[in-house]
Structure formats: structure tokens, C-alpha cells
Amino acid sequence: MLRARCISEGIRAVYPGCVVGVYTPEEVQDFSPAPATKDMGMVEEVKAAELPQESDGAYALYVPGNPDPYNRYHTVDEWLQGYVDMIARIHHSQKMPDDVKAEKIDSLKVCNMDMIDSLDSLGKAKIKANMVKAGVPLSPKSELSPLNPEVVHSVTIS
């Protein structure tokens, strides 16, 4: 019996994946009793960030220069889609130059920063995914061509 225990302990020490946590009934009988529960003290309750809602439960979408909501949505997903639609309308506008578009998109983000900051990582990922679906680049660099035609690349072979 001692020889078998020695072999099983050696295998567990050297290659524990081989026995995958399986014990014999005799080994289980020799386990030391579970330690008594330990008092860890009081728990501090951490509340999740609450989404900014209007008094009727709607989520407001604001535009720059207007203290009143531009639109109100009843779910977070509707608000996300409305926000992305607004960004897409600005981005695809033919009436504004690119620098004005970027400025308007930034100011729209600032107006709605309370809502954006209160979103979890999934909500922020949904914004980015919906922006890509709407054809809006996530960064200004993505609109640029990977190769600038004015720059000539030369390769020297020695």
C-alpha cells in the first residue's frame, strides 16, 4: 500500500495531467479535514454604474448647442443605434469638409459622454461594430490610402 501511495504521489508531482485529479478511496480517507471557515470581515458593496435615464425611463441623445434632448430612446440598444446613425449622417454628409465633420463628431461625443462612459465594454463594442456597419471609420487613419502615390519606394538589391 505504501509503495502504491509513493508511486501515485510521484506521478502527481511530476505529471499531474496523467491522473487528472482522480483519487483512490483510500487516498481520500487520509485527507486532512477541511480547515474551519475564516472570517474575512465585512464586504464592501460596489454598485454598477447606472445609465443616465430621464424621469420616464428614456435614454436621451443630445446634440451640441442644445440643452434639450434631440431624441429619446426606450432601450440602450436603440440609443446606441441612434447615436451611430447620427455619426454616420455627419460622416457621409457631402456639404461639410472633413475637418468640420471630425469636429462635429467629437462634439457629439462630448455631449453624450455621460451615457457613453456609463456603458459597459459590450455596449462600447456595439458602438464600434455599428459604426463599421454604417461605413464610418473608427479612426481618421483608416480613411487614408495605405500607400501614398507621392511617395516613391525604392528597393536596392545588393
For the chain, domain boundaries: 1-29, 59-140
Could you tell me what percent of the chain has a pLDDT over 90? Answer: 6
Spatial distance between the Cα atoms of 83 and 126, rounded to a whole number of angstroms: 11
C-beta of residue 52 within 8 angstroms of C-beta of residue 113:
no
Could you tell me what percent of the chain has a pLDDT over 70? Answer: 82
What is the pTM (predicted TM-score) of this model? 0.55
pLDDT at residue 113 above 50?
yes
Strand spans (E) along the chain: 59-61, 71-73
